[in-house]
């Protein structure tokens, strides 16, 4: 059983830039040497931090479904390319506060969602503090994402979302070549993988980019998150066709009106940053 330590005092970890002050820590828990905190922020939002410095999730309690963090909104650019089929099956690596899971369950009522989270206490945290709902379409698996993929050989997914960070950054076992090889094998022919990466660790980012370029030679798109070191990488098992771009353009208009996200901007940025970046190599 995972035990929560409730606190009403600010964190005493001042080793780096962190949550805005004044802030109220309403939960502090420890897992594998990490300090994980849920914080009520001065601006009225609630956030999940690692070691008081690395933000993982942020929620507006007055609108819990809304995606507050820019990277999470950019991750949803993948929806423009999602095939128009009934009952899409989606896999998410990394739960955090559950922002993406809530958003998909709310807006994609015909989807089935598998979420893999290595921290066994994160589900309870997300349900208690971040309004993650009980939903029969949501299945949460406590496992390392790379290990889970090895046991899911008979399953195929229309979309795989990769957002697995720990207190040191991108989780090593997930952001690795063997993981992406396995993930590609689990995609439907028209499926895609959306990966949240960071350039904070330049060496790790370059290695990931080189790996993905080799695995998805003509099926890789780049979407920088504005005013951030994050970048969303969209990976397709087949070369991206003009038909897919046309479909994405149509979907951008529909989804922007339906979901109130900046899909037109996402589409422009995907076109602007992808081809020149990958054509010149890593």
Catalytic residue among 114, 119, 158, 163: 163
**Residue 160 · residue 93 · CB < 8 Å:** yes
* Exposure of 85 in the CB half-sphere (CA atoms within 13 A): 15
Within 10 angstroms of residue 159's Cβ, the number of other Cβ atoms is 24
Helices (H), 14-144: 70-75, 99-107, 122-129
The answer to whether 235 and 162 have CB atoms below 8 angstroms apart is no
Q: In which element (H, E) is residue 59 found? A: strand 54-59
Fill in the DSSP letter of residue 33: T
Count of Cβ atoms closer than 10 Å to residue 48 Cβ: 25
Is omega for the bond preceding 22 within 30 degrees of 0, making it cis? Answer: yes
40 backbone φψ class: left, alpha, beta (φ>0; ψ -120 to 50): beta
Q: What share of the chain is helix, strand, coil (3-state, %, to 5)?
A: 35, 25, 40
First vs last C-alpha separation in the chain:
45
Catalytic annotation present for 163: yes
Query: So which residues are the catalytic ones?
Result: 163
């Amino acid at each position: 059983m995972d035990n929560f330590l409730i606190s009403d005092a600010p964190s005493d970890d001042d080793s780096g830039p962190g949550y805005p002050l004044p802030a109220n820590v309403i939960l502090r828990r420890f897992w594998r040497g990490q300090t994980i905190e849920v914080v009520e922020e001065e601006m009225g939002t609630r956030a999940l931090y690692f070691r008081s410095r690395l933000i993982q999730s942020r929620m507006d309690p007055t609108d819990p479904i809304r995606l507050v963090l820019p990277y999470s909104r950019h991750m949803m650019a993948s929806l423009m390319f999602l095939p128009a089929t009934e009952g899409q099956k989606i896999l998410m690596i990394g739960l955090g506060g559950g922002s993406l899971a809530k958003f998909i369950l709310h807006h994609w009522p015909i989807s089935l969602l598998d979420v893999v989270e290595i921290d066994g206490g994160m589900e309870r945290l997300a349900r208690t503090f971040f309004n993650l709902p009980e939903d029969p379409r949501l299945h949460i698996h406590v496992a390392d994402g790379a290990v889970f993929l090895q046991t899911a050989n008979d399953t195929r997914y229309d979309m795989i979302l990769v957002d697995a960070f720990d207190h040191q950054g991108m989780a090593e076992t997930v952001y690795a070549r063997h993981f992406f090889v396995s993930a590609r094998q689990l995609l439907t022919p028209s499926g895609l993988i959306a990966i949240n990466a960071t350039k904070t660790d330049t060496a790790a980012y370059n290695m990931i980019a080189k790996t993905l370029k080799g695995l998805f030679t003509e099926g890789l798109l780049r979407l920088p998150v504005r005013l951030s070191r994050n970048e969303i990488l969209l990976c397709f098992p087949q070369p991206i066709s003009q038909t897919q771009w046309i479909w994405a353009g149509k979907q951008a208009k529909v989804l922007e009106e339906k979901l109130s996200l900046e899909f037109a901007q996402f589409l422009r940025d995907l076109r602007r940053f992808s081809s020149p970046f990958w054509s010149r190599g890593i």
